């Protein structure tokens, strides 16, 4: 047993006293409880973000109608039941911010990195439980700050989730750029702190606290994904913090990082000179692009695990999957310029970013093909988690392919900021990652609460959500291709856009169905926490280490010693075994014998291990591991 684990054991021993409510449920330092805190906050934020999207989808479909309930709900922002254009922008902005940062970054990574890293690598808890607790509470403060900003008099930040200055820097340019923007910036600063505290913890836990036998090349792909995600976050979030600080200076202290040559109606020419709004965009997208992988990679990791387990089949090309993740992580730092092809930056720079961007498509394609091959000749158990994972693969393909258009500088001239972009990112980042999150929830709910979610409700939830997501986001491609700009409050003032009215109605109906479908989930989730069927220890007959821990979810995870790991996590349906799974932690003396006698049956897994060891040795070297 490693020294870290030994230490954790001692630590564990003096924790047998009864915990108070506060230390158990509120300021908890147990990674499992923190993960649940992240999840529930994420679900609440997600519901808010969803309702916002329904409100503005109503506006887009029926721009001339008056919805009396909207006035009841929003007061002066919907006089006579018609959404105010400024507030529309505010809703879109907060919807985007919530979905990207609060649900799919903190809600997804925060939940599953916290839950799974210690359990799947075999650790008693995170490297620093205290920092872990701080990470949640910074996130909580941040969420509260963001929600408060919706209720202030001048309205929330409304310059889009990317908050480009000068629009976001000048209070006189837009009401939302006043106090609302200040709150947005504070919320994001808190969020970044939370994310850094979490990320450092994830990285150190993965590197230092693996149990005996859990070499890097035996880690489940979930862990690899969380690990790379954390690295991306730790390297890129500080840049956003810098960008936000400069913006704060420009807004409050009269600096000119982003401002130059501006004349404002009713104010006159401003003094600011020499700054560049494009500088902000460089800084923002230096985070912004890795951010989309921060969102997507954990979902891909979860999918790998769930698909392999429920196809009862090893994940195809484990090493290729890890290398793809590594490649995507690395490349994601040098492609940010594809968001800026038409900002007026040097066209040569555009060419460079185009080439780098399209290279990213290769590891992504490898991942998609490997998922397909994993399903091929599998024995697919349609648990809701499995369905959501398959849904993810579908979205990953259909949304990923449109990235090939947008990464092409030439094609981006027409497509930039059109509805095509909205279609693209909602499929590949929004829907895919949300589906990964749902897959994770359905799969690891028993690990979180010791009970099962109801499958039937899960099926309703899945099919309705899946159908509605395509219904909402697929037609947007066609609008975008025909040159319909995004972030438009309504389309009735431009005659040319009339032809899209019926499509807008269709998409809104789709969104309403999708919103409705989430009721199945919410009911199922909260009902099952208290009344769900009791779970068994390993309900999915899975191989990975977390299922060796007792259902009771004790502090320190395992009552006795931490189990030792003997093999990789994807040994499903081995021909030499009766059972169709072979847990990582199960010692089996007979197995190697069988393998020895039958020459042809040298486990391909072991062969792969040998082949890939060069790669893993290199990784270990990089991180200074012995």
Residues from 43 through 62 that contact ligand HEM (CB under 6 A) = 50, 53, 57
53/205 with CB nearer ligand HEM: 53
The Cα-based distances of 454 to 36, 226, 445, 515 in angstroms read 19, 28, 11, 19
Per-residue x/- marks for another protein, 347-366, CB under 8 A? x--xx--xx--xx-xx--xx
Beta-bridged to residue 451, according to DSSP, are 534
Q: Residues 373-412 vs another protein: string with x where CB under 8 A?
A: x-xxxxxxxx----x--x--xx--xx--xx-xx--xxxx-
CB of 244 to ligand HEM, least distance (A): 16
How many whole angstroms separate alpha carbon 569 and alpha carbon 217? 10
- Residues numbered 82 to 111 that lie near another protein (CB under 8 A) are 85-86, 89
For residues 114 and 38, what is the distance between their CA atoms, to the nearest angstrom? 9
Using CA atoms, how far apart are residues 52 and 30, in angstroms rounded to an integer?
A: 33
Per DSSP, 598 falls in state: S
Q: Which stretch binds Cu ion (CB under 5 A): 42-50, 285-293, 445-453, 528-536?
A: 285-293
Selection from 95, 2, 81 nearest residue 51 by Cα: 95
Q: How far is the CB of 362 from Cu ion (least distance, A)?
A: 16
CB nearer to ligand HEM: pick between 227 and 438: 438
Which residue in 61, 78, 83, 100 binds ligand HEM (CB under 6 A)? 100
- Give me the residues paired with residue 384 across strands: none
**What is the pattern of x (binds another protein, CB under 8 A) and - over residues 164-203?**
x-xx--x--xx-----------------------------
What part of residues 171-230 is at the interface with ligand HEM (CB under 6 A)? none
Which residue has its beta carbon closest to ligand HEM? 96
| 376 close to 347: Cβ distance less than 8 angstroms | no
Rounded-to-integer distance, Cα 398 and Cα 392, Å:
10
Under the binding rule (CB under 6 A), the answer on residue 161 touching ligand HEM is yes
Going by the DSSP 8-state scheme, the letter that residue 315 receives in this structure is P
Q: Does residue 92 interact with ligand HEM by CB under 6 A? A: yes
Residue 174 pairs with which residues in a beta bridge? Answer: none
Q: How far is the CB of 65 from ligand HEM (least distance, A)?
A: 17
Among 32, 57, 289, 416, binds Cu ion (CB under 5 A): 289
Site for ligand HEM in 508-527 (CB under 6 A): 511, 514-515
Q: Which among another protein, Cu ion, ligand HEM, none contacts residue 289 (Cβ within 5 to 8 A by kind)?
A: Cu ion
Q: Which residues contact 421 (CB under 8 A, 6 or more apart)?
A: 406, 415, 480, 486
Rounded-to-10 torsion of CA 215, 212, 120, 393: 20
- Decide: is 443 part of the binding site for Cu ion (CB under 5 A): no
Q: Which of 139, 130, 133, 138 is nearest to 107 (CA)?
A: 139
Q: Interface with another protein includes 58 (CB under 8 A)?
A: yes
Nearest by Cα to 30 from 125, 137, 128: 125
Residues 6+ apart with CB under 8 A from 174: 86, 89, 158, 159, 167
Instruction: Point out which span in 96-104, 327-335, 521-529, 608-616 binds ligand HEM (CB under 6 A).
Output: 96-104
The CB-of-260 to Cu ion minimum distance in angstroms stands at 18
Q: Is 487 in the site for ligand HEM (CB under 6 A)?
A: yes
Kindly state whether residue 316 participates in binding another protein, applying the rule CB under 8 A. yes
Tell whether residue 73 is a contact of another protein (CB under 8 A). no
Determine contact, residues 95/49, Cβ cutoff 8 Å.
yes
Q: How far is the CB of 486 from ligand HEM (least distance, A)?
A: 3
DSSP 316-333: TTHHHHHHHHHHHHHHGG
Angle between helices 221-252 and 179-208 (to 10 degrees): 150
Q: Closest distance between ligand HEM and the C-beta of residue 420, in Å?
A: 11
Task: List interacting residues with ligand HEM (CB under 6 A).
Answer: 50, 53, 57, 92-93, 95-96, 99-100, 104, 160-161, 422, 426, 429-430, 434, 472, 486-487, 511, 514-515
């Amino acid at each position: 047993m490693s020294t870290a684990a030994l230490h954790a054991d001692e630590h564990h021993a003096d924790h047998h006293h009864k915990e108070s409510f506060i230390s158990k449920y509120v300021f908890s330092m147990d990674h499992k409880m923190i993960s649940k805190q992240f999840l529930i906050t994420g679900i609440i934020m997600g519901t808010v973000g969803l309702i916002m999207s329904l409100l503005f989808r109503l506006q887009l479909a029926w721009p001339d109608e008056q919805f009396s309930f909207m006035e009841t709900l929003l007061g002066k922002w919907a006089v006579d039941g018609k959404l105010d254009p400024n507030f529309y922008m505010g809703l879109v902005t907060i919807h985007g911010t919530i979905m990207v940062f609060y649900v799919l970054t903190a809600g997804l990574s925060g939940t599953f990195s916290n839950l799974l890293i210690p359990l799947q690598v075999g650790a008693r808890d995170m490297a620093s439980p205290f920092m872990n607790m701080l990470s949640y509470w910074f996130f909580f403060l941040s969420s509260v700050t963001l929600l408060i900003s919706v209720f202030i008099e001048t309205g929330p930040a409304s310059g889009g989730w990317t908050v480009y200055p000068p629009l976001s820097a000048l209070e006189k340019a837009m009401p939302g750029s006043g106090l609302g923007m200040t709150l947005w910036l504070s919320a994001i600063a808190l969020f970044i702190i939370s994310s850094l505290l979490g990320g450092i913890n994830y990285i150190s836990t993965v590197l230092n606290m693996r149990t005996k036998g859990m070499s890097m090349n035996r880690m489940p792909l979930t862990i690899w994904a969380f690990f790379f995600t954390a690295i991306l976050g730790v390297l890129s979030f500080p840049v956003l913090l810098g960008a936000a600080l400069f913006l704060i200076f420009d807004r409050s202290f009269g600096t000119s990082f982003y401002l130059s040559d501006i004349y404002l109606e009713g104010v006159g020419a401003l003094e600011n000179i020499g700054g560049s709004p494009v500088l902000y965009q460089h800084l923002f997208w230096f985070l912004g692009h890795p951010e989309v992988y921060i969102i997507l990679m954990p979902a891909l990791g979860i999918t790998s695990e769930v698909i392999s387990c429920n196809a009862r089949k090893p994940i195809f090309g484990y090493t290729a999957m890890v290398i793809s993740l590594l490649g995507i992580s690395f490349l994601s730092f040098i492609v940010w310029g594809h968001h800026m092809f038409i900002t007026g930056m040097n066209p040569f720079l555009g060419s460079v970013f185009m080439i780098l961007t399209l290279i990213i498509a290769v590891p992504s394609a490898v991942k998609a093909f490997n998922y397909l091959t994993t399903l091929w000749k599998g024995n697919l158990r349609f648990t809701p988690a499995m369905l959501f994972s398959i849904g993810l693969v579908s979205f990953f393909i259909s949304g990923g392919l449109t990235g090939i258009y947008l990464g092409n500088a030439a094609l981006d001239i027409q497509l930039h900021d059109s509805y095509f972009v909205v279609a693209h990112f909602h499929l590949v980042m929004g829907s895919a990652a949300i589906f990964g999150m749902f897959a994770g929830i359905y799969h690891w709910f028993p690990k979180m609460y010791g009970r099962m979610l109801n499958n039937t409700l899960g099926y309703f939830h899945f099919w309705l959500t899946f159908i509605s997501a395509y219904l909402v986001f697929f037609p947007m491609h066609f609008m975008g291709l025909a040159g319909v700009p995004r972030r438009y409050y309504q389309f009735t003032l431009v005659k040319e856009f009339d032809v899209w009215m019926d499509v807008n109605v269709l998409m809104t109906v789709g969104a309403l169905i999708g919103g409705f479908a989430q009721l199945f989930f919410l009911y199922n989730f909260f009902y099952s926490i208290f009344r769900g069927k009791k779970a068994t220890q390993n309900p999915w007959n899975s191989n990975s280490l977390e299922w060796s821990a007792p259902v009771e979810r004790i502090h320190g995870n395992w009552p006795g010693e931490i189990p030792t790991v003997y093999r990789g996590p994807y040994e499903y349906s081995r021909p030499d075994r009766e059972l169709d799974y072979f847990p990582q932690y199960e010692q089996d003396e007979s197995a190697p014998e069988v393998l020895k006698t039958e020459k042809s049956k040298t486990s391909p897994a072991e062969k792969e291990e040998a082949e890939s060891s060069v790669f893993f040795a290199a990784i270990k070297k990089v991180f200074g591991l012995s």
